Structure 1
């Protein structure tokens, strides 16, 4: 959900709905498959250009299906839209299954594997921790100058991960040096998320869990990023990224994973998705 291209598309659809202009969308794969849906729905009180519509974080749509969802549920006037379907893609496929070359969609998604961890790590953009921007493993790593990686992992994360019941990944303690953005040219201790089983890995749950653990154990070294963010001067950046203030409050209250699951509320969205699926 936190990616601007789909909102550029729906803004174009809005601008063209009263004009005699046909919009043609050449569909492309969802790199982390079209079956797994995960995360809270966007609360429209927290909408922004990185979250404009009431969809979950891991929404399972292709960009063509986003356009169709907009036509059916998010606008009051129909645009002249045509979606050119893909050949050979099915909803179970990850990007590596397509055998297509990876074309970098933005500087901080340098390889397709970054998309696996993106729903887990992008939320750290709303904190003073580095999410790896300024490195070659952006959005696969998280860290802070005041974390001693091996000590912190062994004392606070190793047992917590094992007890959590979250599967499909391993954390590796690391030190990294961002060359720009947060903590540029400062050695940051933290971890890399290695996905060991794509089907079992639930990035949204893992990311929220890790943010909770870091909040609880870093104490004063953990800070939320302050406004402004995405041209909004009032809302907390983490709430804009999450599309809700409930997740920040869940982190701050040391909420349980069962309480986290209750924030998803996906039934209505899943019904809408069934109505517009192309594949």
Structure 2
């Protein structure tokens, strides 16, 4: 077991049972660490202390916030997936907003000039390809290299009950998959931060002064409804539950509802009907400016009331079979499929006609090893 001596983790096992309280709502645990510090924030619209944005809360409590580092979807969460984030000034506070999504994903020394402490507080959804954990990786590395303290304010993982899917092969490492973890890793961002440091997945890992403020009264398998949508195309709990199963369709010809009022809750195609439900993707400036199969009437499956949870591989296998029988290309972006999967073995197994049981059996040894590897970093029962 790796030593965690350098980690400052506020353990709360002695508190009696009560409602789950996210770390941001426990200011007594982190405000003392910010006294006389120049603070940079990595935050978005989910970074709330009650009904107030963390930025506003810290300023009201005399914390010297000097800048905001904006991830994918932007500081206020209104930019589309993959849309470049530009530097700006927050009109409410006058704080400079520096983009760390686009050309610059790792904060530079210039961007961090004058900063003593970085706070990361963003709601994650527990899937490896959800890019906020990649942003956290780069921010941690920059903090380590610049000798800055880093505080992660933890939040529950709404898919925390599941550890499933292929473990990433570093040959396929990218911004949508940076770590040797499964597609569904079952960890919070705080736990992942501990693992990233402890496993030496960033440069100068031993130099990083990392503090994780945990959620109180939380178990990873309990249902947790997010109070704020974590990104424009995950508008509700159903989309968040379906996201791990449907995101791989981004590398295929199939639409998963971008450009509709129910993204990541349906699937369909114009030439290969996957069901009787019909929908038509339209251009939606804030969430899907140019959606796949735009303005085409598609036929498929409405999953808004489905019980799909975790990683449902059968959806991918059945759709692939339908396309194969129709003679239409399914994997329209095979390289992207391999990056999302973290391996080319899943795509090749599907193309070879392997069964779901065969495919799942192939990644079980790596999942077992991962569970053992992550054990020292877990904060919650």
Fold match (TM-score > 0.5): yes
**Who is 2:180 aligned against?**
54
Q: 1:224 aligns with which of 324, 331, 348?
A: 331
Deviation (angstroms), 1:119: 1.0
Shift of residue 35 of structure 1? Answer: 3.0
Counterpart of 2:296? Answer: 186
The alignment of Structure 1 onto Structure 2 pairs a total of residues equal to 241
Contact 1:215 1:251 in 2 (8 A): no
In structure 1, what is the Cα distance between the partners aligned to 2:162 and 2:154?
19
Partner residue of 1:82 out of 202, 211, 219 = 211
What's the counterpart of residue 214 of structure 1? 322
Change in 2 beyond 3 A, CA 1:195/1:210: farther
SS of residue paired to 1:39: strand
Structure 1 unaligned blocks of 5 or more? 154-172, 227-234
Shift, 1:18, TM fit: 2.5
How far is the alpha carbon of 1:249 from its aligned partner? 0.9
TM-score, length-normalised on structure 1? 0.80
Of Structure 1 and Structure 2, which has the larger fraction of its residues in strand? 2
Compute the displacement of 1:196 (Å): 4.9
- The alignment status of 1:147 with 2:276, answered yes or no, reads no
Could you say what secondary structure the match of 2:278 adopts?
Answer: strand
* 1:211-255 superposed Cα distances (whole Å, 9 cap, x missing partner): 4333433422x33224xxxxxxxx711111111111111111111
**Aligned-partner Cα distance in 2 for 1:214–1:62:** 36
Post-superposition offset of 1:20: 2.5
Paired residues of 1:116 and 1:203 also in contact (CA < 8 A): no
Residues 1:218 and 1:192: Cα distance change in structure 2 (over 3 Å): farther
Pairing of 1:189-204 with structure 2 (within 5 A): 189-194=299-304, 196-197=306-307, 201-204=309-312
Structure 1 equivalent of residue 144 of structure 2: 17
Q: Is the 8 A contact 2:173 2:342 kept in 1?
A: yes
* Higher helix proportion (structure 1 or 2): 1
Counting only pairs closer than 5 Å after superposition, residues 1-279 of structure 1 correspond to structure 2 as: 1-32=128-159, 34-73=160-199, 74-75=201-202, 77-78=205-206, 79-96=208-225, 101=227, 103-149=228-274, 153=275, 173-180=276-283, 181-194=291-304, 196-197=306-307, 201-220=309-328, 222-226=329-333, 236-264=335-363, 265-279=366-380
CA distance in 1 between counterparts of 2:140 and 2:326 reads 44
State how far apart, in whole Å, the 1-side matches of 2:302 and 2:183 are. 21
Q: Which has the higher contact order (CA 8 A, sep 6+)?
A: 1
Q: CA deviation at 1:129?
A: 1.4
1:268 deviation in Å?
1.3
Distance 2:337 2:215 in 1: 35
Unaligned runs of 5+ in 2: 1-127, 284-290
Query: 1:11-58: per-residue Cα shift (whole Å, max 9, x none)?
Result: 1111111222111111011012x2321100011111110101111011
Please state whether the residue corresponding to 1:266 is helix, strand or coil: helix
**Cα distance in 2 between the residues matched to 1:195 and 1:53:** 33
C-alpha separation in 2, matches of 1:148 and 1:14: 46
Structural RMSD (CA): 1.9
Alignment check: 8 A CA contact 1:119 1:207 kept: no
Contact 2:265 2:303 in 1 (8 A): yes
Q: Say if 1:110 and 1:5 are closer, same or farther in 2 by CA, change over 3 A.
A: same
| C-alpha separation in 1, matches of 2:322 and 2:301 | 11
